[in-house]
Chains A and B, each alone.
Chain A
Amino acid sequence: MAKTVLEFEKPILELEQKMEEMRRYADNPDIALEIAKIEKRVGQLQLTIYAGLTRWQKVQLARHPDRPYTLDYIGMITKDFVELHGDRYYRDDKAIVGGLATIEDRKVMLIGHQKGRDTKSNVYRNFGMPNPEGYRKALRLMKLAEKFKLPVVTLLDTPGAYPGLEAEERGQAEAIARNLMEMSRLRVPIVVAIIGEGASGGALGIGVGDRILMMENSWYSVISPESCSSILWRSWDYKEQAAEALQLTAPDLKKQGIIDEIMPEPLGGAHRNPEQAARVLKDTIVQELKQLAKIKPEKLLERRIEKFSAMGVWVG
């Protein structure tokens, strides 16, 4: 059972608690029968609730404090991970981690946003909000990958690039723009997976690639529902409507032609069964790497530019 229960999960929790209590009297065959009945109802309720999640509820799952983060997945899907630090200009940004890793005998450069799980680690990780040096570290590692012909895998999970005074002084916009351009012409395959929050340029800053994968309960958009609400409705209270309007879920983005594949999560979200979520992530990445390895660099780059060139809807 997860530590944090979201509002819409409460009916499930109530039944589960009831069941837990009854288990103490499970010797009684009548009660045992009753438990079996409730168990079935819990199963049905989970199916109904999780199958009918609104976009805002999915945003909440994407931000669930128990959700696996980049380093958790690295622990579950790679072996021999060697973390590399620093952008060589200013400092090591803790909101982006990266390094050499092996995924099923495939050597890769793995880079991802990293959130913290409690106050202390969140301060350390700056809530997963990178400064320019984070993007510059990521770029350094990607260039290293290119040099040694290693494919790049990036995991996206950020509430946004940090909107701070020093971030501006050190060129937040330039750092992101540079990555978009350099990732477009990196001569090795790039697989991008959105594992939690994909908030705007802060996410896209390590998100240009040949294949874009998205976990079922993650979100990806140009702005968070809250900020969108505050700007367009001039109030923080319209986040649900904003989430609906922005169409920011995995199926939405598939329909818009932005992502290639949706990775199914365990019922109720990745945090309910991290190993299962990790298995799907790993299998999908390996599958994509296998396909991409067959394509020559020139063709790869041509297709990558074409892929992003095709995005957009206009008239005339």
Chain B
Amino acid sequence: MADNPNPDMHLMEPAAKPKKKRGIVRRAFLVGGALLVGGGVFGVYWSDRSANARAKALTETGNDHNFLSWMKIAEDDTVTVYSPHIDFGQGTHTAMGQMLADELDADWSKVKVEQAPADLSFANTALGRGFLAATVPAPGLVDAVPNAVLAMLARSMPIQITGGSSAVRFTGQVGMRVVGASVRLALIEEAADRLGVPASELTTADSKVIHARSGKSLRYGELAAGAAERSLTGSPELKTRKDYKLIGKPVSRIDIPAKVDGSAKYGIDLILPDMRVATIAAAPVRGGKLVSVDEKPALAVAGVEKVVKHDDAVVVVAKRYWQALKGLQALTPKFSDGGHGNLTSETIHAEQVKLRQTGEPEGEAGDGDVDAAFAAPGARVVTADYRVPFLHHAMMEPFALTGHYRDGKLTLWGGLQDPLSTRARAAKAAGLGMDDVVFNPMIMGGGFGRRFPDVAEIIDQVALLARQVPYPVKLIWSREEEVRHGTYRPQSSSQFKAALGTDGRIAAWKADYVQSESAEGEVTFIYDVPAVSRRHFKYQSNQNDGPWRSVNSTQFGFYNESFMDELAMEAGEDPYRFRRKHLAEGSRHRAVLDMVAKRSGWGTPLPEGTGRGIAIVESFGTIVAEVVEATVREDGSPKVLKAWAVVDCGTTVNPLNAEAQIAGGLIMGLSSALGEQITIDKGAVVQSNFSDYPLIKLADAPPQVDVHFIESGAKIGGIGEPGVPPATPALANALFAATGKRIRSLPILTQAKA
């Protein structure tokens, strides 16, 4: 669910590595290119007849009719919505269905949501438009980009990504609702002709077109065939909030029943006739290669059929997983260390500090003259250094992907975040054309950013493996492989410096931070400070960094909101009031902060040794403030007692699900703050499993999370990620309030027990 740091890379160059930084240029090109084409506006999916024909062929079964690729209506009134996003439990499929069905006035009990086929006819134009709207400074420009151009771009450069909390914000708002509303108009026109009455006399409800005056009505299923022949408008009028029947309502998630009886099939659950199971050990040091391996000990294990050598890994193929694992454990492969054999977490940190002190920043952002403010008479200058470790995604389902190569075609089954990019990456690895790769998306056991195809090397591994065996082969990563070969949230360090003016306000704010990529894509600085500077110093270790739920907003949430607390202490002010006076009067931010203070009883007395901490972060278009109440156990470990979250994401599409996303995000933030860290020794990851990479358990999570939404009606923000960032600083600030000890390095537990 995490964002890709360069979303537009997917628009323009799906197979590219995520490291490059040409986003701005490409964005300008895209808009410029589109403007050059200019002219006619509509025709999204409409004008692209070949894509629609393909979508029809893929989805129609004889008694139903596809509209605009994204939905079909069956003669029995069943509406099937095709979601181009992946649902790994964040409720996206349900939300896509709600948004389309609301505009369509469909009977919700007859709505199904299915995964859109991983086919170019389902490339996500709306997402491209949404990203443009979110990233281009002048929104008017975006409206001038013809849908047809976006459709063409999306189809020639596959995007079906799920990330950046984008599904509802972009696909739902710009895509699903428009499709639903447009098809509804076609159904009305069809009914008007059939009934011989003016369209203006017709209304719709519960999958029927109704003529109130005559008492006649026609079911959508009866009208579908005729409506499917009609031309559709690309700019239908959309409902306003007062007319919503499904949007904003607590709808039960459609995927849940199969997740309580064991029937939901995840990628790891696939069983095919003649299938073999494989497991893998890659070079322990990232960047290392396989030097040699004696295959015989593995081949001597019952059930083991083959040992396959990759450039940087060894794979054992057997009839069963346990046999493959025993075979792999019998091997003593030799790997090189890629020249990284002396690297440790501490050498990385020392190099980062040196770079920050003596190197040149890669990029700088901000406004105003910070240096003048620091030098101003009476200014009180405060500095603090912070650091965070690599973090692992720890999705509960370890990577598993099945491949079958036959007659020049590769078929894949598994859970990855962007089906089309999965095909593109597999095709490249297998040396095939994209048309020779089929991908069947399956349910995912978590993701949190780990399942983006551009960071999922398992696609290459399976593509190569499948080409060497005649049968279908399912590659399963052991948990140890999963922990040691992550694409981690980067190890990052920073120095913050601020000047407090004689008026008790912040006059300048400067952040120098060191990590692999710039954080500018995700960091929204919300406080009213006249001079701000953020400088990025680029440091790349041998580890693969990648997006981790809410991406840079997590470490920046910790940095900014811990430092804000430190400044409040320096200013001798209450942390809530100090934040409040730096948020504009009447702003959404201030309303969110005030509400969380109110709900949490901020300022009321607490027992000795218990403290409250507050933090507010805006990410992915959503403002979240959280308060954590915590104490410290006798062994020095923190105990979270209560937690509150107040959220302004504009509008909640499904409050029941949004609450779960925010509470779950908050708990993930607490988990990472408390115990999670990936450390490096001799260039390799030290941790191996949940025994030494501890995730929070039920007893340590707050028994309840009080989640409150402010329905501001502002532009819809994301919901999957924004709950995470404020949790870590809120906990650290609570522990400061409880103990007087400031936390500037994570995780907390390693220090508490040291």
A binds B: no
Residue numbers of B with Cβ under 8 A of A are none
